[in-house]
Amino acid sequence: MNRAPTMIEKWIPIMITPQDIRAKALRHWSSYAYHRNRLSGAPWQALDIPFGKPGGRELLTEFASIGKSLHDLQASAKATQGYGYRIDFEPVAHRQLGEQHLPDRIYFETEQDFLRFIGKQREAAQFKQLAEQTIERHPALAGVLHGKPRWLSDNLAVWGKLLSVADWFIAHRRPDMFIRQIDLPGIDSKFIEQHKTQLTVLLDALLPPPAIERGAKSFEQRYGLRFDQHLIRFRLLDSSIALAGLTDLTLPLEDFCRLELPLETVFVTENKVNGLVFPAFPGSMVIFMLGYGVGSLAEAGWLKNKRIIYWGDLDTHGFAMLSRLREKFPHVESMLMDSTTLAKNRTLCVTEPSPLKEIPAFLTEAERATFNALLSPGGIALRLEQERIPFGQIEAFLRGAVRIGETGYRIT
């Protein structure tokens, strides 16, 4: 006897439903398998939809539910709707129920059946048309589209604009201007800013190697555009080397890299106030307010021949910034970031809210020991902020640092 669902039972379909078929078909579309097949030019092959079949026991105990599932399945099939999936049936012999006809195969016989069922006819037609036009216009993009058709499929509405921007870069290689200065009909600078990822894919395939700086970190640097550079603020600590009488200056990184000054020592510190009040020191400058951007100083080649002394907060992040700078300039020395300074000012320490657990790579043995001294077994870390250190200790350090190389860096 067939068991009907009770009032508190939720009916659970025994077989695949039209909604399941649509979900599987859409997953096939979203995997871009359809797009790759269309780009390859291969003829359409029937797309089978996998599904589970009821066994003999289920036929007997869930006969009514299976019947309802079959009715719903056939109601949405091509035989009823005129499009969509086809169902091939096979006879199944059952001892109690006799011969039953159950689905053996569910598939989309034609491309149009598939596309109409998932509502993608217009999108597919647009994809094929744009793919053909793109490859005809730029044969070099054939590999991009075949390898990752999503670049086109996900950008159908803006594809024409993307190609127009790419054509502009082909005609203006490494233009040395800001994105805002690019004039293209119907395309503003915001469009380019918002589509740098897509444009990178296209330009890497279309531009010759000399037009691409592949090691660059930004879109602008990669393709020879101007950009808002890091600003380097510094003070000249020796009045005899002031620039036109100026000692407190801020320059774009590019201009800073071109400086030619009779310097011997370059101090780098994080705190703005400490940079402003840093004591006079012969033949030197102090750079300040860079934070984790200290690595940008690597572009200033002239620093390689200068004595560099770094002073950061005496905490785990301060050591991380020291390590980052020393990675670029192995001869960097540290200032007031030692166990003696920590011990002298322990009562001035506060808790570091988000300490690093891993010791940065480019520290000396003494610096590693100080890093570990900041951490407690309970995970609490100390922080001695630069501005808390008495000014007299800064002056005392500088008096002892006049002899070049006294605190030189050495990996042990």
Tens of pLDDT, residues 237-275: 999 999 999 999 999 998 999 998 999 999 999 989 999
Confidence (pLDDT) at 3: 40
Token digits for 81? Answer: 């709707």
> Across residues 177-185, what is the average pLDDT?
95
CA gyration radius for the chain? 35
CA distance linking residue 117 with residue 139, whole number of Å: 33
Question: What is the pLDDT confidence band of residue 114, given thresholds at 50, 70 and 90?
Answer: very high
Cβ-based neighbours of 347, under 8 Å, separated by 6 or more? none
For the chain, which residues make up each domain, given as ranges?
18-118, 121-222, 231-400
CA distance linking residue 64 with residue 69, whole number of Å: 9
Question: What is the pLDDT confidence band of residue 55, given thresholds at 50, 70 and 90?
Answer: low
281 closest CA partner among 113, 155, 404:
404
Written as one string, the DSSP assignment of 19-74 is HHHHHHHHHHHHTTHHHHHHHHTPPP--EE-------HHHHHHTHHHHHHHHHHHH
Token digits for 377? Answer: 């077994």
Please tell me which residue, 328 or 98, carries the higher pLDDT value: 328
pLDDT digits (tens, 9 = 90+) for 340-377: 999 999 999 999 999 998 999 999 999 999 999 999 76
Q: Where are the beta strands (DSSP E) in 69-149?
A: 86-94, 98-108
Question: What is the pLDDT confidence band of residue 26, given thresholds at 50, 70 and 90?
Answer: very high
Least confident stretch, 138-142, 193-197, 240-244: 240-244
Confidence (pLDDT) at 2: 40
Least confident stretch, 194-198, 287-291, 332-336, 407-411: 407-411
Q: Which residue type is seen at 313?
A: D
Confidence (pLDDT) at 5: 35
Whether 8 shows a pLDDT value over 50: the answer reads no
Least confident stretch, 47-51, 155-159, 172-176, 193-197: 47-51
As a 3-state breakdown, the chain gives helix, strand, coil percent values, each rounded to 5, of: 50, 15, 35
Whether 53 shows a pLDDT value over 80: the answer reads no
Confidence (pLDDT) at 295: 83
